Amino acid sequence: MTTRARRTQRRTEALSRERIVKAAVELLDTAGEGGLTFRALTERLATGPGAIYWHVANKSELLDAVTDSVVAAALAVEPADSGDSPQEEIRAVALGLFEAIEEHPWLATQLATQLSRSPWQSVAPRVFESVGRQVRALGVPEGNWFTATSALVHYTLGAAGQNSANTVNAQVLGPGMDRAEFLGTVSRAWEELDPVEYPFTRAVANHMREHDDREQFLAGIDLVLTGITALRSPAE
């Protein structure tokens, strides 16, 4: 083996798929999907493009790997106490995904893309398995497993994605605008709606200003769980 070949082999071995994924997450967090290019990756990792292509074939495969890595970490909930109920386990899984999407604004779009484009890959089964096991543990009849689990997953990802979008939009509206200012702007706009056409929206406008995102999110999970647990047979 020549010296150059040995150096190339060592460099390829040192540049693991895990390092590439970690660097890609950092680029996505700071620059968004448009900033994730193989050129930017080579600069961040101080390597050549060939070493990266050894581990991932293209950007699509890289985005899949990055999404799977972040979701796997979000779902790696510490083993619960033996007394924890399936409801508490579901809340922990949902909150883990909520916080991951809040921390990584690009994740909501990637999750939606993967779940619709390639639900047979690892991300969809990871999420469904984490929630579905607990739905089954609740004693829900088997015929309702898929619907109940889908309701929880869709609510979790939809609400978490909207929360992340609100955070991003607040930053876009003006320099230094924080969440409270953004929600205040929305609340005032709702209060000024026509009282005949929008009586309900005007009535809850103040709640928009004052609500806590996590508390509201978990309250929504509890509402869904209330409906799901009603499916259990009386013997459960």
Number of Cβ atoms within 10 Å of the Cβ of 93: 23
CA distances to 12, 86, 156, 161, 186 from 183, rounded to whole Å, are 49, 33, 21, 16, 5
pLDDT at 19: 93
Q: Which residues of the chain have pLDDT under 70?
A: 1-14, 77-83, 168-177, 233-236
CB-based burial of residue 98 (10 Å sphere; 0-12 exposed, 13-18 middle, 19+ buried)?
buried
**Within 13 Å of residue 108, how many CA atoms lie on the same side as its CB?**
21
pLDDT at 114: 85
pLDDT at 13: 45
Pairwise CA distance, residues 26 & 100, whole Å? 14
pLDDT at 78: 62
CB-based burial of residue 45 (10 Å sphere; 0-12 exposed, 13-18 middle, 19+ buried)?
middle
Contacts 24+ apart (CB under 8 A), 25-31: 25/66, 25/69, 25/70, 25/104, 28/66, 28/104, 28/106, 29/103, 29/104, 29/105, 29/106
What confidence tens digit (pLDDT) does each residue in 105-125 have?
A: 899 999 988 888 888 888 999
pLDDT at 115: 85
Nearest in space to 94 (alpha carbons), one of 131, 134, 147: 131
Domain architecture of the chain: domains with CATH: 1-56 (1.10.10.60), 81-229 (1.10.357.10)
Amino acid identity, residue 3?
A: T
Nearest in space to 134 (alpha carbons), one of 74, 92, 73: 92
pLDDT at 68: 94
Query: What would the two tokens of residue 220 be?
Result: 């929504």
**How many Å is the maximal CA-CA distance in the chain?**
82
pLDDT at 175: 58
